Amino acid sequence: MIYTGAQVLFYALCAALSPMILAATFLVLRSERPRRNGIAFLSGFVIGTAIACVVGLVLGDAFVERLDAHDTFKSVVTLGLGLVLIAVGLQARHAPPQPEARSSRAAAILATLGNVGPAATFSMAGLLGFGGPKRLVLTLLAMTAVSQASLRNVVDLTLVALYIAVATVLVSVPVVLVVIAGEHAAELLGVAQTWLAEHATVIRVWLSLTVGVALVIDGLLRMLV
């Protein structure tokens, strides 16, 4: 139970560390309707993450039941994702300064988040919560760990809830602050948004390298144990 919980927490932290998600949250919270749009964004993001968890649990059950070498599979996937993130971090480190690169879907969402209503904000947040390749792989690894542990249903649900809570923390904390503190929190978030924009490349490099190295170590340890 403790080991599985540690795995789930580790993958959730890796999924949560996303400058792009934080930038999207800032855009929503500095729109004309920060409270309503913020609540809609948080709701959609949590639901999108929950749907990804359900998909991960289904696939995790399939791997546990049908693959005798699911531990090896998890090790290879973890190691592979870690190496990709390290490569991305090193490439960004040596590249000339430029606007933060994003997928076309993420770029389209960020371009419109500050000018839409709660319904559209909810839908876009759901897509972001479900995740791109990195977030989806981390969710799959976490849910496979839950399935593999063969714990009681209540414990499984608790671990899933832990993953969702931690993986969405960069959205939930700013939204709760704005809902409670209103304009005062919005002003602070404006300063944070400016700082994030100025240091986006450095943050992306170090997050990619840190998370990548952690995943490589995790994958190697799984292979050796």
194-216: per-residue pLDDT in tens? 777 777 778 878 888 898 898 88
Structure tokens at 180: 């409670």
Sign of the dihedral defined by the CA atoms of residues 52, 58, 59, 61, in that order: positive
Please say whether the beta carbons of 205 and 92 come within 8 A.
yes
The residue extents of the domains of the chain are 2-224
Residue 28 has pLDDT above 50, yes or no: yes
pLDDT number for residue 70: 56
Sign of the dihedral defined by the CA atoms of residues 107, 195, 209, 9, in that order: negative
Higher pLDDT, 1 or 205: 205
Sign of the dihedral defined by the CA atoms of residues 71, 50, 151, 66, in that order: negative
Per-residue pLDDT band at 149 (split at 50, 70, 90): low
Please say whether the beta carbons of 171 and 41 come within 8 A.
yes
pLDDT digits (tens, 9 = 90+) for 64-77: 555 555 566 677 88
Q: Locate tokens 């190691």: which residue? A: 79
Count of Cβ atoms closer than 10 Å to residue 66 Cβ: 8
Please say whether the beta carbons of 92 and 209 come within 8 A.
no
Q: Which pTM does this prediction carry? A: 0.82
